[in-house]
Structure 1
């Protein structure tokens, strides 16, 4: 296993991270604030993003995950963390110290490969080797013609760019030309979904799998498939969370996540660990409570159960 995954997962082989933006703009209060400020649905409030990232780092969450959403499409209604992913990772590298920085996930076919490698290497240097690079083929067809790219051939473009990343762009550079900065250790590549590839190809060429949200029972089949093609490589997923202030509030399932108190959250995380999930990124945009309060409670009562020193 890549040493960065050992840092991410820790001695227990299971850890908890956070999906950016650390904002609750999808909650009832968040939507009300967005209407008052004239922000479209899915365009997050960025007033506290830096403070929340620093807090997550201080509290011991293992990773911050950012998304690659080049354009805001009202039909999707989600602008991610608004900032361009690599630019934002550079900023996060400067204001955090120990937390891993991941992408979930960069849309490879829309990116110019040489500049992508340079950006990847730059972030890796600026973060002192904290980058985890999740990549994907993209699912927003409207973006492709805007960028002058062909949507139907995105699978082939994805494979070509993965090769370029693995070879540090040597497959595209003439003799004597260098792309700086060099990396001292290969950045691990994780794939979101299958990226228009076969499971066998993904298992062979990628270092880990970013799986879509699901119940523990739904993850059983997915983990089984990943173990068949990827062996012991990490299996990572995301969980939307609306954490009730009452620790004993029962679990209620919602699309892509759960509502309930911290006891229910603990049970859910333990169930995910038991079926083979190794890292869970908590998504808090539906949280009816302030994000900082949720981070503090999870850090105090949940992280010590899984993040063994």
Structure 2
């Protein structure tokens, strides 16, 4: 089986960990160009992060640039044809499940069934406090939110859920998602997140784990799913090191993988050997044109060898 590949969008989130300098002055036209290039190049998905508000103490590192994922993915859905739309990740515990379901069901309906709902627990205490959600119990909140969203994003016009935190029935929501079952991928690499992904998810989105840590976590997921008697398909993800297709004439950093198509494909195929099904890639670049060139080169030179 080939290894599929997706991309976390630039511009829409600008944490200093990964944002390139040119993104600070970029905007909608740049997002459109990147999304269309990825769509043409056979990428499996576009991914978009989720933060509501960043406190001053974290702003220097995280920045305050975080586009809303539903609005951004809907905007790009209308400009693309086949590429899937991933929230990586939606902090669904910040919102009532019926509100989340309304937004993402509409996105799936409008895009013709291209949504992948990536969810995570969140880590910014002030966001939870501002929205009246218990930060200390965010894991429990996420667990029930996933259950409630399974019901609310299912085929029933009047979904039903009865839990400790949320209780609803007899409330209709149309339109329904275009997909019969919206895939839910669970993000995070803590023991609790790995367990949650194994037992509640259709896939796992690790949080930047280096290669040497992935095999043990993948084995753990397989063990937990087997123990639960769950043999349904499950998508294991990974986030690759930064990439540059070709030989850069500038300093791309020592961790960046560089080289021709065969060289990069050989390196990325190691993820497939571990049991990874999809890998998220990010390219070093000095501007939009270089990024779209990199996306096109990856699709033409690397992807066919995966």
Matched, 1:186 2:181: yes
The Cα shift of 1:201 comes to 4.5
Residue 74 of structure 1 corresponds to which residue in structure 2?
59
Residues 287, 221 of structure 1: alpha-carbon distance in 2 compared, 3 angstrom cutoff: farther
SS at match of 1:166: helix
C-alpha distance in structure 2 between counterparts of 1:193 and 1:124, whole Å: 24
Local SS of the residue matching 2:279: strand
Q: Summarize the alignment of residues 134-213 of structure 1 with structure 2, pairs less than 5 Å apart.
A: 134-168=118-152, 169-171=159-161, 172-175=167-170, 177-183=171-177, 185-193=180-188, 197=192, 199-213=194-208
The equivalent residue for 2:234 is: 233
Secondary structure at 2:174 match in 1:
coil
Equivalent in the alignment of 2:285 = 287
Please state whether the residue corresponding to 1:95 is helix, strand or coil.
coil
- Residues 27 and 213 of structure 1, relative CA distance in 2, 3 Å threshold: closer
Aligned counterparts of 1:27 and 1:293: Cα–Cα separation in 2: 23
CA contact (8 A) 2:189 2:206 kept: no
Uncovered stretches (5+) of structure 2, i.e. residues with no partner: 153-158, 162-166, 227-232
1:271 corresponding residue in structure 2: 270
Partner of 1:41: none
2:48 is aligned with 1:52: no
Q: Which residue of 2 aligns with 1:20?
A: 9
C-alpha displacement at 1:127, in angstroms?
Answer: 1.1
- Contact conserved, 2:74 with 2:107, CA < 8 A, in 1? yes
Over aligned residues, Cα RMSD in angstroms?
3.1
Q: TM-score, normalised by structure 2?
A: 0.80
Counterparts of 2:244 and 2:270, CA distance in 1 = 17
Distance change (3 Å), C-alpha of 1:13 and 1:265: closer
Ranges in structure 1 where 5+ consecutive residues have no aligned partner: 1-11, 38-43
CA contact (8 A) 2:143 2:196 kept: no
Sort the Cα spacing of 1:107 and 1:260 in 2 relative to 1 into closer, same or farther, 3 A.
Answer: same
Equivalent residue, structure 2, for 1:6: none
Higher relative contact order (CA 8 A, sep 6+): 1
Residues 90 and 29 (structure 1 numbering): CA distance in 2 closer, same or farther, change over 3 Å? closer
**TM superposition score normalised by structure 1:** 0.80
Q: Secondary structure of 1:105's partner? A: coil
SS of residue in 2 equivalent to 1:115: helix
Q: Given that residues 185 and 197 in structure 2 are in contact (C-alpha distance below 8 angstroms), is that contact kept between their aligned partners in structure 1? A: no
1:5 aligns with none
Alpha-carbon separation, structure 1, partners of 2:188 and 2:114: 23
Closer, same or farther: CA 29–152 of 1 in aligned 2, 3 Å: closer
